[in-house]
Amino acid sequence: MPAITHQQALDRLAAHQLVQVIEDDVASLTSTAMSYAKHDQHLTVAGYVLPRLLARWNCVLNASNDEATPLYRDKTVLALALLLHKHGMTETAITKRALQAIDNLNAAVALSDAFFRNTDAIKALLNTPALALKKRPSTRDSLTFLRAQDVVAIQLEQYYYAAYVHEISGFNEYPIIEFYRARFEHRPDMAALQGCAAQGETYNDGKTRISLHAVCGMRHVPDPANQFHLIATGITDQPDQSQLGASVGLHTISNLFQLQGVMRKTGV
């Protein structure tokens, strides 16, 4: 029996919302990966989860001090390491940073005496082999605090992309968004989006059509992962769809991780 459980260690971080959002992301990706792995013997859960997860949370881990304080980065990397371990995975660089983060948090007296007293136990837990899950983890219901006519900027690696929120599906379940046909090296504002057309999607018949995405996981504003940012509200001028054909269906059900592939093709 370990000296401390994952949940006990996470509770010591005193960062309930941050932990919940990371757990939502890890659980969602792990559940998807476990489903895919049943049909693809070459796919590993970690191989699927880690690049997608880090493409999102690197927006904190690699952020400047203006974007995320050092203590927030330390809490984030430690929560990531613990939740990956809880879900049967480790990533060497993340674990190494997490072990250093424990020392940083203690040196700053950033957390409680209970965290300090459990330092060795938390480090020991992270240094034990992670046990693969036997069943898919459960996930929370989708929820969003975005609203129709919001405009958001979304960071992926070295670029930012912008999207317009057309409506909110269900009872505040998820936003239905459309990308502007542009990408930016810095977070855009509305002035940068003036004159930008809608991105659309090109199909096998060669026609580029209106493309909307219903996105699960865009829950909190501001985003604890520092990936998506609200840049304007109450914008009635929608992206220009005049050059696009009619859409195929109402929208595509998606999430922040599936959107990564869409964004990499946006504005190119």
pLDDT tens-digit series, residues 76-108: 999 999 999 999 999 999 999 999 999 999 999
Least confident of 59-63, 196-200, 202-206: 202-206
Residues 155 and 50 grouped into a single domain: no
Provide the residue range defining the domain that includes 92: 6-126
Structure confidence at residue 268 (pLDDT): 65
Residue 144 lies in a domain: no
Residues 117 and 171 grouped into a single domain: no
pLDDT digits (tens, 9 = 90+) for 144-156: 999 999 999 999 9
Residue 134 lies in a domain: no
Residue 140 lies in a domain: no
Q: At what angle do helices 92-107 and 70-86 cross, to 10 degrees?
A: 130
Q: What is the mean pLDDT of residues 238-250?
A: 91
- Which of 163, 261, 158 lies closest to 218 in space, CA to CA? 163
Structure confidence at residue 60 (pLDDT): 98
Q: What are phi and psi of 198, to 5 degrees?
A: -70, 150
Residue 218 lies in a domain: yes
Mean pLDDT of the chain: 95
Residues 18 and 90 grouped into a single domain: yes
> Would you give the DSSP letter of residue 65?
T
Predicted TM-score of the model (pTM)? 0.94
Query: Who contacts 44 (Cβ-Cβ below 8 Å, separation ≥6)?
Result: 33, 37
Residue 1 clears pLDDT 90, i.e. is over it: no
Q: What is the mean pLDDT of residues 13-37?
A: 96
Half-sphere exposure of residue 187, counting CA atoms within 13 Å on the CB side? 14
Residues 156 and 118 grouped into a single domain: no
Residues 115 and 190 grouped into a single domain: no
In this structure, how many other beta carbons lie within 10 angstroms of the beta carbon of residue 82?
26
Q: What is the mean pLDDT of residues 152-180?
A: 96
Q: What is the mean pLDDT of residues 5-26?
A: 96
Q: Which two tokens stand for residue 75?
A: 């809490």
Residues 96 and 158 grouped into a single domain: no
pLDDT digits (tens, 9 = 90+) for 43-84: 999 999 999 999 999 999 999 999 999 999 999 999 999 999
Confidence of residue 170 (pLDDT cuts 50, 70, 90): confident
Q: Which two tokens stand for residue 240?
A: 């220009």
